[in-house]
Structure 1
Amino acid sequence: MRRLSLISIIPLLSLLATGEATAHAFLDHAEPRVGNRVASPPREVTLWFTQKVEPAFSNVTVTNAAGQRVDTGKPRFGGSQMSISLRSGGAGTYHVTWHVLSVDTHTTDGNFTFQVGQ
């Protein structure tokens, strides 16, 4: 009887473990879009995640082609969305780096680039 119980629990445990991993706040999309080219420097960068994020433990930075920070340093949050205002940084490749803590208490981070100019 005990052996049968363990055998039936193992698939259930693996299903739960798989479901938990998909609950992290991963980047869903961004504006400007990841890898996109925009004509002029945007006023802000907005990131949307697959889950709500905890503002106190989440951040984003944006640097221009010269490696200078062009973000204002204080992101704004709304559920699963994080936005940050930008100062003009000229043309070239912009780098966005983010780190978030989701409401399920898991952290994720990542980065991407977009191009500014013709």
Structure 2
Amino acid sequence: MPRMKTLLLATLTASLALAGQAFAHAHLKSSAPAADSAVKQTPAELDLTFTESLNLKFSGATVTGPDKKAVKTGASSLMDSDKTLMVPVSDKLAPGKYTVDWHVLSTDGHKTNGTYSFTVAP
């Protein structure tokens, strides 16, 4: 019986360890401008806040305008204990819907990516 308890404890420990790794990915927690929001003027920057610290060298974002052309952005940087990716917006944005495609590498080595959009109101 002690062997069975040891095996059960080892299995439970391994399951919890693997489950913890699944939650270690950097997920987008919030953004400014917010997803599906409307802003009245060009944002000076995009602030993408994640659940984990990021590796700047392998993280970034691109912005595409309503005409499907890339928006000019500046060099990204990290803020807030390396959890917020700040992307300066260099171009003045015309009214319309903009798409942000982001990709990040968390400091624990996990890659994630995603997309969201916002609108510049006329």
Deviation at 1:73, TM superposition (A): 4.8
Is the 1:61–1:73 contact (alpha carbons within 8 Å) kept by the matching residues of 2? no
Deviations 1:68-110 (A, max 9, x none): 1113252122211111111113011100010000011101100
Match of 1:102 in 2: 106
1:32, 1:45 within 8 Å by CA — same for their partners in 2? yes
Corresponding residue number in structure 2 for 1:85: 88
Gaps in structure 1 of 5+ consecutive residues: none
Stretches (4+) displaced over 4 A: none
SS at match of 2:16: helix
- Percent of aligned pairs with the same residue? 33
- 1:44 aligns to what? 45
Q: Deviations 1:5-39 (Å, cap 9, x if unpaired)?
A: 22221111111111111121110100001111111
- Secondary structure, in 3 states, of the residue corresponding to 2:34? coil
Shift of 1:2: 3.7
The 5 Å alignment of 1:9-88 reads 9-78=10-79, 79-86=82-89, 87-88=91-92
Alpha-carbon distance between aligned partners in 1 of 2:8 and 2:54, rounded to the nearest angstrom: 37
Give me the whole-angstrom Cα distance separating, in 2, the residues matched to 1:32 and 1:62: 12
Query: Runs of 5+ in structure 2 lacking a partner?
Result: none
Matched length: 118
